[in-house]
Structure 1
């Protein structure tokens, strides 16, 4: 004699109708390994998953910022569902000596701004160059640095005051007039 056993499965409506999870919009970080094709094209593709989740928040230009405050606007190129860093990318790469095998870590800060950490082929973070400095032809070396750039290089606790000087010529003599801040 053969006996069969009946098993009943209980399906609840809650588990049966569970909605699919929404895409994780908290995805704000990604990395890229610089390949020969990246160097040849002079463009860097943003990963498709990041584009799917955050691409609509990106404007025509994004800002890349390194840990030392080097900031550069980069124009985006949209090709179908892809987004590429294009206009200004080759200058950014050249300024940081980015080449094949480098590892780039991007952290999206919002407002079309990315913080970028760069690692070379030794797997160590690079020594970042400072932003461009302009030196005048006069006897004195003068750097054109905005107040914002200067403050970005200083620890807030170390700043007691900043004095902005204006140079004026008065009867062949240099006269400095300034305004105290803080």
Structure 2
């Protein structure tokens, strides 16, 4: 599901079912309990995650097909992250409610497509894991 820039297309099926109820920003909540704010933009009939997506994808070293979203409420999506063998990655819960400060909150009108040449890729080579220095006191994920 990851593309190699700061935009990520939301699947049309998800958009048809929940797109009318999404606030801008939406909040992604992976198993480690960190809450990520992501702004989206609409281009033609498609909805794209935009501001905040690149940081989220980099933090979790995501690649094509690694993410499953479950709609929970108007602006919250539960996130499941899978490895290349299709096993869900088990992230230790941080124990406190952490909101990742990956966004400067702006009005919905200021979110726009910055690159019209973006394409959704069917196949993406596995990404190199990026080591990040994090101030969040969580251990590395454990694989089941």
Same fold (TM over 0.5): yes
Runs of 4+ with deviation above 3 angstroms: none
Question: What are the ranges of 5 or more consecutive residues in structure 2 without an aligned counterpart?
Answer: 99-144
Give the match for residue 54 of structure 2: 90
SS in 2 for 1:108: strand
Where does residue 85 of structure 2 map in the other structure?
122
Q: Given the alignment, which residue of 41, 44, 49 partners 2:5?
A: 41
Kindly state the Cα deviation for residue 103 of structure 1 after the two structures are TM-superposed.
2.3
Task: Report whether the alignment pairs 1:103 with 2:51.
Answer: no
Shift of the 128–90 alpha-carbon distance from structure 1 to 2, 3 Å rule, reads farther
Larger helix share, 1 or 2: 1
TM-score between the two structures when normalised by the length of structure 1: 0.48
Does the CA contact (< 8 Å) of 2:39 and 2:49 recur in 1?
Answer: yes
- Give the gaps of 5 or more residues in structure 1: 1-33, 132-144, 151-182
The answer to whether structure 1 residue 73 and structure 2 residue 21 are counterparts is no
In 2, Cα distance between equivalents of 1:114 and 1:57: 12
* TM-score normalized by the length of structure 2: 0.59
- RMSD between aligned residues: 2.2
SS in 2 for 1:98: coil
- Quote the Cα distance in structure 2 between the aligned partners of 1:53 and 1:91: 26
Identify the structure with the greater strand proportion: 1
| Count of residue correspondences | 98
Q: Out of 4, 9, 14, which is 1:50 matched to?
A: 14
Q: Greater CA radius of gyration, 1 or 2?
A: 1
Which secondary structure does the structure 2 equivalent of 1:106 belong to? strand
Q: Distance in 2 between matches of 1:39 and 1:128?
A: 23
